[in-house]
Chain A
Amino acid sequence: MSRIVVHGLEKSYGDAHVLERVNVTAEPGEFLSLVGASGCGKSTFLRILLGQERQSGGVVVVGDRPIVPEPTPQRGIVFQRYSVFPHLTALQNLLLVEDFRSGGPFGRVFGARRRSARQEAETMLERVGLAHARNLYPASMSGGMQQRLAIAQTLLGRPQILLLDEPFGALDPGIRVEMHELLTELWVEHGMTVVMVTHDIGEAFKLGTRVLVFDKVRHDPQFPSAYGATITYDLKLDRNHRASSRDVAKVAAMVGTTRLDSAIATTAS
């Protein structure tokens, strides 16, 4: 699908620097897991990829041109919350994709196009195991069902890049494992590039083909937001082999150490 090239990416809010000198290239079909301490800017990075926020400097190229600074169908997203439309049932949520894609004055497709959209939606519901819930509103679904629906909806949009912002963060451990399997299957079927932000190091290693650690290289104890975070560690994984526990421990330590450091900085200031 599409290659992502990020070069010299900077993001700051006034004086506060969040990201600096972020360089990364993702080949088509890669699965990038982004980890890092809370507030290290990995979610900001994802929102820039999405187009929800604009970078302060640098370029992001997807495919062969820089991304436009607004969300487009090129990049699909699944958030941790608010990822499906609460006023539509499961089936209507999926039908909405074709309605939006048509872009017509009624925001709705009719006739043969609606029938084929319905068929596609039913197949997708079946695929993610929500056929029995087709007429339920999200409010009466469990968190896991809602995230299944969110992923199904995003995939119907046929994005070149799938962005995931802690998609399973609010789910029970058991449901989370199910979701990992589903996501892996869908990733293999569709072959798109995936960028996932997660707090769960295990999840990052289990799903990703590459783990990227976001952290600050430079610290100013008097002014913690003087410097932004960047990618400090870039580990390629082989999904056919279990990641070595040493690698996992190393990344866990990197993510943990930042917290320790910033905690020390906070108490010292």
Chain B
Amino acid sequence: MERYWKVLRLFWSTAIAAELEYRLNFLVTALISLGGLAGSLFGLFLFYRTGYEFEGWSWEAALLVLGLFTVLQGFSAMVLIPNLNKIVNQVQQGTLDFVLLKPISSQFWLSTRIISPWGLPDVVFGLVMIGYGGSRLGLGWADYGLAILPLALGAITLYSLWFMLGATSIWFVKIYNVTEVLRGLLEAGRFPIAAYPVAYRAFFTFVVPVAFLTTVPAQTMLGQGGRGWLLASTLLALVLLVVANRFWRFALRFYTSASS
């Protein structure tokens, strides 16, 4: 275990050192996330400006959901995209061989090798939005604290799904864009799940569990979630994590290496 911490520190310090060579990039990405923020606020405002409300969600409560979405977006830009979207390159070029030979879990290597600081602006803006919405609703630190668990569970769920999709590249090399489909569907998490028609709600709860990524943490923060959702969220995250690991081992049996 300790070895893994040490390796992780090394991974991330080298990754950050490498990325900091492109400092101007930081300004650019910060500008892009600021623009994205303005855009999503505008999108939400279009619904609320005539007095319509998503069922049971005031403007401030909807801001919490949008904030949580932005935080998760930052998380995927920092960890998921730079690592998991590269699995396909490893498979295509046969460099996965070297990863498999290392005396360390290959899933760990593939999932944590790089951290990209460019997701930070999104995380910060997301937190600001949560803070703003929360203070308008009179939420206290305890409420925010309660939401950390479901948010972390949501992050685990997201990671597991993404990793499994990345792992399918062992069979189908040229489908690096399958994660784009997931990303497109995740956009639904910008809005509370109650805002969708019934068919959509079922789809985004049971097929692509978007509801557990942003709506459930927001509900917990507002103190209206109920234990059932939290329990379901925990189960989902744990099951997906285990399945992702099993799936990876299964996929590796079909790996035949390339160009070596």
Are A and B physically bound partners?
A: no
Using a CB–CB distance below 8 Å, which chain B residues touch chain A?
A: none
Using a CB–CB distance below 8 Å, which chain A residues touch chain B?
A: none
